[in-house]
Each structure stands twice: as structure tokens, then as C-alpha cells.
Structure 1
Amino acid sequence: MKAVLLGAAIALIASLFGTPMFIKLLVRKGYGQFIRDDGPTSHHTKRGTPTMGGVVIIGAVLLAYALAHLITLTPATASGLLVLLLMTGLGLVGFLDDFIKISKQRSLGLRSHEKLIGQTVVAVLFAVLALQFPSRGYRTPASTYISFVRDTNVNLAFAGPVIGIILFVLWANLMIAGTSNGVNLTDGLDGLATGASAMVFGSYVLIGIWQFNQNCQTNPSLKCYEVRDPHDLAMVAAAVAGACFGFLWWNASPAKIFMGDTGSLALGGALAGLAITTRTELLVVILGGLFVVITLSVIIQVASFKTTGRRVFRMAPLQHHFELVGWDEVTIVIRFWIIAGLFAAVGLGLFYGEWVVGS
């Protein structure tokens, strides 16, 4: 538990005090956000606001993870390092996208196929490695079983181990693409994605600690959890949540800095990585329900326009619809935070409820 608290505290402090220094660096270099002309007109005042703040979030998490292990004299784990690999790898893809945007002052960074290739390479590397590094002879960071609050009976390796690996890689890519794009689409208003992410990662702190206390390695029972490194995963989640809280101080309205694709892709990747390694792959759909709703709004809008020529919303993603309806930005953010918190609470309730009912 000490490592979890250290991870959260170090990441919070590093992000809180590191962000203003990074803002000064970006301002000095003239790296500001490019605002699309087809977006809400109220956003034009944000043109030039420093972006790529995800660099601070990633750096704070990596620093917190390293120092927490160093202070507690505990070794890093395969699960924790893999989630950090996924987070940092996707953050690098987002950084390249952000850097091209601000250096060339255009709304298009990496081309869609270039971005997809980068995300796929990182996701495939994570998925393949996650099925390696068995602990005590059989437990690996990830599993070929589809999971909800724990592994279900649906095994992707039903036709053999090779097919299982291929199907798991595809499944992991789908999850990673879904969460990273979900956070990316949510990152449209000051503090919205940062605050919502902090809630979801906070939920994973509780899940990781509970799984550690009820783990089959230390507390075998009929309802114990077959998770390889739950305590370390709780520390990773705590570090990410802490970094988000520290960054939110500067990202809340009026934002002094944006996380950019660097941050949104990294946070989405970390979310998918935690879901896969804690064996809560389908539960993340509920825990991160706000991201799902916002993503669905885009899908509905595009599908409706292409099939009927009509738009369901005034603008997608959903938060921009409410802007055009007349809601104040801060009002939208706070109400969406409430929704994000309710989704996280329902997800945690389902997680704990399964254990209570089944015990």
C-alpha cells in the first residue's frame, strides 16, 4: 500500500509543479494549439494555448513508478512495465501528431494511415508481450480468455494456441483503439478528459488493491483473482490518477495548457492496458462510460449523415452539441464529470457485487 500512495503522491507533485515549467518552455518556442475553423466559434480564443501537455503526464507517471519502487525497494513487474510501455508508445504517436500540427500550424498532423500504423505497432507489441512472462509457471499478464470482472469461459484459444494469440492480438488492438480514441474525442473542453480520466484510473486503484487482497497467490479461495501483479497495477493506476489531478490544476477552465493527442492517446492506452492486465476488459466499457457515450455520438452522427443526409446532433462529439445548444463550457464539463463519476461508481459496484454474490 505504501508504494501505491507514493506513486500517487510523486506523480501529483511532479505534474503539478512540472506543468508550469513545461508551459514556459512551450511559450518560449511558440508551440500553441491550432483551432479548427469548423469548430465552435467560442474556441477561437484558445488559439495559441500551449499543447502537448501529455508529455508532463507521461513523465510524471514514469518518474513516480521508478521512485516508488526505488524507495520501497521492490522490483518492477512485467504487468506494470507493459502498461507503461503501451502508455508511452501511444503517447509518442500522439506527440508526433501534435508536433506536426503546431510546427506546421494546421489541423492535420499525422495522416490517418500513419497514425493507425503507429498505434497498431505499439498495440501489437503490447499484446504479444502480455502473453509472455508467466508467473509461477502459468499466470501471464494477459489472458486469451475474454474477461468482465474476471476471466469468463470464452477462450480465444479455442482452436489452438496460435489462433488464440492471433485473436487476442486483434482483440487487444480493438480495445486499445477504442479507449485511446474515446479519450481523444472527449478531450474537447478544458479539463473534461483529464477529470474523467482521473475518476476511471482512481477506480482501477481500488480494483487493483482489492484484487491484491483477494489474489489466488496469497489468499486462495473459490473467488480469488487470477491476476499476475495486482498491487503493481494499482500503483500504476494511482500514478496516472495523481498525474491527471496535478495536470488538471492547469488544464481546468480557462486552460493554460492542453494535453493534446500526446496525453489523450497515452491515457487511453493506459486504460486499455489496465483493463487487459486486471482481467476487466468488458468492465472498462462501464467504468469509462463517458468515453463510450461520446464515441457513440460521433458514430451516430456520421452514420446518420451518410445514410440520410441529416445530423442527429448540432455537432459531434456530444460536448460540442451542448455548446451550440447554449450551455456554458464549465457547466458542460462539470455535468459530464458527474456522469463519468456515476459510470465509475456503477462499474465498481458491479465489480464488488460479483464477488459478494459469488462468495
Structure 2
Amino acid sequence: MLFLLSSFLVKYVTFFNVFSYVTVRSILALLTALIISLAFGQKVIDWLQKLQIGQVIRNDGPESHLSKKGTPTMGGTLILASITISVLLWADLKNPYVWVTLFVLIGYGIVGFVDDYLKVVRKNTDGLIARWKYFWQSLIALIVAFGLYAYGKDTSVTVLVVPFFKDVMPQLGVFFILLTYFVVVGAGNAVNLTDGLDGLAIVPTIMVAAGFALVAWATGTASFAGGSVSFAQHLHIPYIRYSGELMIICMSIVGAGLGFLWFNTYPAMVFMGDVGSLALGGVLGIIAVLLRQEFLLLIMGGIFVIETLSVILQVGSFKLRGKRIFRMAPIHHHYELKGWPEPRVIVRFWIISLMLVLIGLVTLKIR
């Protein structure tokens, strides 16, 4: 909105040309989302408390979590609002990738909102029935997958970028649809599983989004140093026309996440709920798809992968062998039951996440 306005005003005042730079708008998007989150965070918490929208704690969970019962949840609505407003203000609204990411963000947010609403308002402990929850997630992912495939069939939009191999970029064909589906749905549920401790999910999300912001800038930048060689060509990754604006979305996620962390850090004053975790996971998944960096998401979002695998292994082992591998899954609960204080689990997972993001970024150069 403001970008389009500045494009008009630059004809009369050259100063507005500064807003044509995606880096400037990305910083402003981060600050906008951060300020909105900080300004309205306490108001949202008070509103949730007034409505008695409090967290439901599982009886079979760690005993230390019983004290969290009643803590306001569904704070993810603040994150979604901050990101959406910031993106609408600073992104180029003529860019189709902006609308694709907003569609996934808001769509998955609605699914999560309904699930949270049924749990905490209607007192239905199971929330949205699992098959319906996955149906709506799948429908959103498939709509995006088919749309992107129809738009970019047999172009750089549908190639598979393989880490460490600069010349290996096969066309996926219809398998692009399948990959997009699994990445978006998988990422949404992986972040949802990780969101079990104060600040545990939001910080890795911030880190991964920041990493993707750099990738988006490189992938969508036409050239550097006034030359004809693009950053994408220099890094041996595909140049994708509309991907530069994804940097603004990524930085909006960073800003909204930092603002939410102000209230979500241990001991949390508010939880994001499924409305936040599903939406953030889904949007990271679609950003990875749009940048053609699904493998990079696998590396940088390694914490989410580990948490998901721990649940899969736990359930599989119990069904096949009648024995559990971990004391409790997801794995962060395993370490709690081993006696680790919650802050220690959280910070160590943050450190691991930072390492994985840096390793992921390094793979872009080692090709």
C-alpha cells in the first residue's frame, strides 16, 4: 500500500525513491510488525483473560506444566495481524508471491483458530477433529501447489535445488505438486508440535525466517555491483522473478516474532496456540517452496524436524514393539522429565537452531 503510494509520489519528490529498495522496505516491515506486537501485546493478553481463553494442560504432561493452566492462549492472532498489516503496508501488492504467502498464512491461521476455539471456548479437549484439520490444511496446500505448477510449469519455479551440487536442478514435473503439499503441510504441523515450551517455537521460526530473508534477497536480486551477474547465478541457485518481495514477508515474521517473544518468553504471559504455530509453519513451508529451497528448510528448520521425528518414532515404536523410545514426545518433554529446567531446554534448542540456520546458509556457497 505504502509502496504503491511512494511509487506515485516519487514523480514529485525524489526522496520517495528510497522505498523502491526492497532492503529498506524490509527493515521498515520488521519495525512495523515489531511495534504493532509490542503496542498491542498487553491489550491482547488482557482481552484473552477477560474472555477466559486459557491454555488447556494435558493431565499426562510434565507436572511442571500444571501451573501454566489458564495462561491466555491464541496469542498467535497478534502475530498474524502484525505480519499481515506490515506486509500490506510495505510489500508490492502487484507481486503474486505476496498473495500466495498471505493465503497460506491466513488459511492455516483460520484452521488453527477453529481448533483453539473448540478447545478453550467450547471446552472440547480434542479440538477440531483430526481428519478435518488435515483436510483443510491439505486443501489449502493443494490449491497453492496446483496454482504454482500451472503458473511456472517447466521453469525455474518447478526445479529441485539439491544442496552441494550446483549442476543438479532437475525439473520435478507433476511431482512438484506432491512436494509442495508435503512441505507446506509438514512444516505447519512440525512447528505446531514444537510449540510446547515458552518461546521454544517462536525463536527458531524467527531464525529460519531471517535466513530465508537473505535467500529471498539473493534469489530475487537481478545483479550486483552494477554488473550483469545475479546473486542467484553467483550462488548457483535459480533466479526467480517475484521472490525478492518474500524478503519483506520474512522480515515481517521476524518483527512480529520478536514482539510476541516479549510476552512469550519464560515464564510466558501468553501462548500462540495453533492459530499461530500452524500459520507460521505453513508460511515457512510455502516460502521454502517459492524460493525452491525445500532442502534448506529441512536443514535450517532442523529443530522442527527433530521434534516431528521424535513423535513419529515414539508412536511407531509403541505400536510395533509396545515400548517407548523417549520418556515423552515431542522430545523437549523427554528432557524435561530427565530433570532439565524448562529454560535450559529452551535456550539449548535455540542454540542448536542458530547453528542449523548458519549451516544451511553455508550450503548455498558450498556447491
For residue 204 of structure 2, what is the aligned residue in structure 1?
196
Partner of 2:243: 230
* Residue equivalent to 2:61: 39
Deviation string, structure 1 residues 241-273 (Cα, Å, up to 9, x no partner): 111111000011111110111111001111111
* CA-to-aligned-CA distance 1:88-108 (integer Å, 9 cap, x gap): 111110000000001122431
Q: Which amino acid aligns with 1:154?
A: P
Shift of residue 8, structure 1, vs aligned partner: 0.9
Distance in 2 separating the partners of 1:261 and 1:153: 35
* Amino acid paired to 1:155: Q
1:59 is matched with 81
Structure 1, unmatched stretches of 5+, are: 158-163, 355-359
Deviations along 1:327-353, one digit per CA (max 9) or x if unpaired, are: 000010000000111110100111133
The answer on whether the counterparts of 2:161 and 2:237 sit within 8 Å (CA) in structure 1 is no
Offset of residue 129 of structure 1: 2.1
- Size of the aligned set, in residue pairs, is 338
2:285 matches 1:285? no
Aligned to 2:181: 173
Match of 1:30 in 2: 52
Residue 124 (structure 1) aligned with residue 142 (structure 2): yes
Residue-by-residue CA offset, 1:254-302 (whole Å, 9 max, x unaligned): 1111011111100111111110001101111001011111111111111
Cross-structure match for 1:153: 169
Counterpart of 2:193? 185
Matches of 2:142 and 2:73, distance apart in 1: 28
Deviation at 1:126, TM superposition (A): 1.3
* Cα gap change, 1:255 to 1:126, in 2 (>3 Å): same
User: After superposition, where does 1:1-359 map in structure 2 within 5 Å?
Assistant: 1-69=23-91, 74-133=92-151, 142-143=157-158, 145-148=159-162, 152-157=168-173, 164=174, 167-213=175-221, 219=229, 221=233, 223=236, 225-354=238-367
Between the aligned partners of 2:244 and 2:228, the Cα distance in structure 1 is 12
What is the one-letter code of the residue matched to 2:181? Answer: N
The answer to which of 203-212 and 244-253 deviates more is: 203-212
Distance in 1, matches of 2:314 and 2:194, equals: 15
Residue 219 of structure 1 deviates from its aligned partner by 4.0
Q: Secondary structure at the match of 2:364?
A: helix
Percent identity over paired residues = 37
Deviations 1:300-331 (A, max 9, x none): 11111111111111000000000000000001
Cα pair distance change 1:352/1:93, threshold 3 Å: same
Deviation at 1:202, TM superposition (A): 0.8
CA gap of 1:224–1:79, structure 2 versus 1, over 3 A, is same
Distance apart, 1:187 and its partner CA: 0.2
In 2, the alpha carbon distance for the partners of 1:185 and 1:243 equals 20
Change (3 A) 1:90 1:46: same
Q: TM-score, with normalisation over the residues of structure 2?
A: 0.87
Per the alignment, residue 17 of structure 2 pairs with none
Retained in 2: the 8 A contact 1:77–1:232?
yes
Unaligned runs of 5+ in 2: 1-22
In the alignment, the residues of structure 2 paired with residue 18 and residue 31 of structure 1 have an alpha-carbon distance, to the nearest angstrom, of 17
1:138 and 1:148, CA in 2 relative to 1: closer, same or farther beyond 3 A?
A: closer
For residues 87 and 50 of structure 1, the distance between their equivalents in structure 2, rounded to whole angstroms, comes to 22
Q: Distance in 2 between matches of 1:205 and 1:348?
A: 11
CA distance in 1 between partners of 2:28 and 2:37 (Å): 14
Q: Report the secondary structure of 1:146's partner residue.
A: coil
CA RMSD, 1 decimal = 2.2
Whichever residue aligns with residue 333 of structure 1, its letter is I
Check conservation: 1:23, 1:257, Cα contact below 8 A. yes
Aligned equivalents of 1:224, 1:36: Cα separation in 2: 45
Quick check: 2:310–2:330 contact (8 Å CA) kept in 1? yes
In the aligned structure 2, how far is the partner of 1:284 from the partner of 1:20?
32
8 Å CA contact 1:148, 1:279 repeated in 2: no
Residue 94 of structure 1 contacts residue 260 of structure 1 at CA under 8 Å; is this kept in 2?
Answer: yes
- Aligned partners of 2:149 and 2:176 also within 8 Å: no
Using the alignment, how far apart are the partners of 1:267 and 1:176 within structure 2?
10
User: Which amino acid counterpart does residue 188 of structure 2 have in structure 1?
Assistant: S
Amino acid at match of 1:191: G
Provide the rounded CA distance (Å) in 2 between the counterparts of 1:292 and 1:183. Answer: 9
User: What SS does the aligned partner of 2:133 have?
Assistant: helix
TM-score w.r.t. length of structure 1: 0.89
CA shift for structure 1 position 168:
2.5
Deviation at residue 236 of structure 1 after TM alignment: 0.6
Conserved? CA contact 2:87–2:248, under 8 Å:
yes
